Chain A
Amino acid sequence: MATETWANPTASERMAHRAARELRDGDVTFVGIGLPNLACNLARATHAPGLFMIYESGAVGAIPERLPVSIGDPSLVTDSLSVVGQADIFQCMLQRGLIEVGFLGGAQVDRWGNINTTVIGDYAHPKVRLPGSGGACEIAIHARRLLIIMRMSKRTFVETCDFVTSPGHRVNGKSREELGMPGGGPTRIITDLGVLDFDATGEAVLAEVYPGVTPEQVQQSCGWPLRVAPTLRAATEPDASVLRLLREKLDPKRLYL
């Protein structure tokens, strides 16, 4: 009975778990709200207790007691190592090159890891107005490793983004190096069906699928002809202990799961 309760991870649980595995102990991480936050907390509770979390709102070395309801939750301040103004976050932490890992999601992503969080449709006359960049544009440019977390569908994994808010590996045919971007760019796209890596040219390639998912299914949720890596790995699933941790301790109110 009890073991049944802790089986069958949801898509969000899979993604949080898979993202957590990308984090190494001691990584200085720029934490986003939602699944990235949960992934960081999971990593900290398991294999990376020394994960160093920086929030765009100004909390440096935060260890929030509760799951923050927004990127500027007061729990990020209590017991944090330091709290600084946002100018310091962007200049002294991000532009200075101190951030190892950044996380981003968005409304659209393309095969080069470019992300759109600005508009759907034409910029001047949009069909849907989205929130905009916030700090996403500079996180994409400066983080040494960028993890993208998004659910897959033809609507979100598109041939060409309507607007490039956060640049990936190639924009309009130009590489990051040619464009002069200091950070390393996206290393993985973690989705609900599997994980995409990036090859030497900067193109996203299907590298892992979750149990029971076929590459054909993944292709059906992708808006461009998706290349598949020569050897497809099996994506690790959260086990009972991880699911218990996620559901009972890290997100008991199910804010993000």
Chain B
Amino acid sequence: MNKLCSMREAIAASVKHGSSLVIDGFTHLICFAAGHEIIRQGIKDLTAIRLTPDLVYDQLIEAGAVRKLVFSWAGNPGVGSLHALRRRSEASSSERLELEEYSHFGLLSRLLAASAGLPFWPLSNYQGGDIARVNPSIKSVRCPYTGKELATVPALHPDVAIIHCQRADPEGNAQVWGLLGSQKEVAFAARKVIVVAEEIVSTELIRKDPNRTLVPGIIVSHVVHEPWGCHPSFVQGFHDRDNDFYVKWEDISRQPETYRAWLEEFVYGVKDRQGYLSRLETGLLDKLRAKARVCAGVDYGY
């Protein structure tokens, strides 16, 4: 089945007021284009889930789209803080954001449980520290074989997962290389999956390299073709991280006024991703484009 549609259609059909949502990616393959479309559609009261909420989650928070954040590390990686998140989680804030916090391994384990169809996942973790003390969802169980006490976390089924990939076919068979993050676990855990791809390719090409397929089309509901949909994040083999932007963001996002102005210009002020790209400084995309490092062919013969 051909599931190709625009980002606007995919978001409108899948993300509702009050949805729980993951826009996945671990520094790599973070679909900013999807976050910006959610802001433009004015969707509210989201439960935003991700191990590493970053700039696009902070933008969703600043735009008032998020009610609750489920996470394990929140920051501007390699640079500093997320300022909308800080403003809305520190003591002086009048509009507090609800936070549910794990470590990376804990939140991953929630997704592993859901993707495996189990009610919970055991892990050797959280002994002694305060994370389990402040999060009542973290419980423990005694191993029936060894008697050892293990931490447990409950399965987490997001309503929607948005996964960016290098290439996909129109059915949503999605191929990823480079850092894999938790894309696979998130996709299998979610009730609905949107695949966003740098390139749409034929099913025939996907079949030539089946080991590369991380998310199978059978769990995907929408496929969006959105080249450069991850800027300022990176896509291995396509473009580097726009690190200057991450550094500049520290200043832009520190003051509510400059933050607002940026959202006005780059999110509300454009119709879609093409509009966003046309507002970037001339020559920037060429500067970020990856230098080729092609792997020699693999023989799948028998």
Contact = CB atoms under 8 A, between A and B. Distances in A.
Contact of A58 (B90, B106, B128, B180): B180
Interface stretch (B66-74, B202-210, B218-226): B66-74
Contacts of A140: 129
Interface stretch (B38-46, B97-105, B160-168): B97-105
Interface residues of A, number: 58
Interface in A23-78: 33, 56-59, 68-74, 76-78
Nearest to B237: A74
B58 to A, nearest CB: 12
B107 to A, nearest CB: 10
Interface stretch (B118-126, B192-200, B258-266, B268-276): B118-126
Given A86-B51, A134-B52, A136-B103, A179 B128 contact: yes
Contact of A165 (B51, B130, B240): B130
Contacts of B180: 58, 83-86
Contacts of A180: 127, 148-149
Given A78-B293, A129-B89, A141-B124, A56 B104 contact: yes
Contacts of B241: 69-70, 73-74
B128 A164 contact: yes
Given A132-B71, A136-B103, A138-B103, A85 B125 contact: no
Contacts of A57: 26-28, 179, 181
Interface stretch (A8-16, A118-126, A145-153): A118-126
B5 interface: no
Interface in B40-81: 51-52, 71-75, 77-78, 81
Interface in A68-110: 68-74, 76-78, 83-87, 90, 94-95
A87 B75 contact: no
A225 to B, nearest CB: 23
A86 B108 contact: yes
A204 B31 CA distance: 44
Nearest to A120: B90
A179 B129 CA distance: 10
B129 A167 contact: yes
B17 to A, nearest CB: 26
Contacts of A125: 91
B19 interface: no
Nearest to B111: A87
14 contacts: A57-B27, A57-B181, A69-B241, A71-B27, A83-B177, A86-B181, A118-B131, A126-B89, A131-B75, A132-B73, A135-B105, A137-B129, A164-B130, A181-B128
Q: What are the 6 A-B residue pairs with the smallest beta carbon separation, nearest first?
A: A72-B27, A134-B73, A171-B128, A70-B78, A133-B103, A70-B77
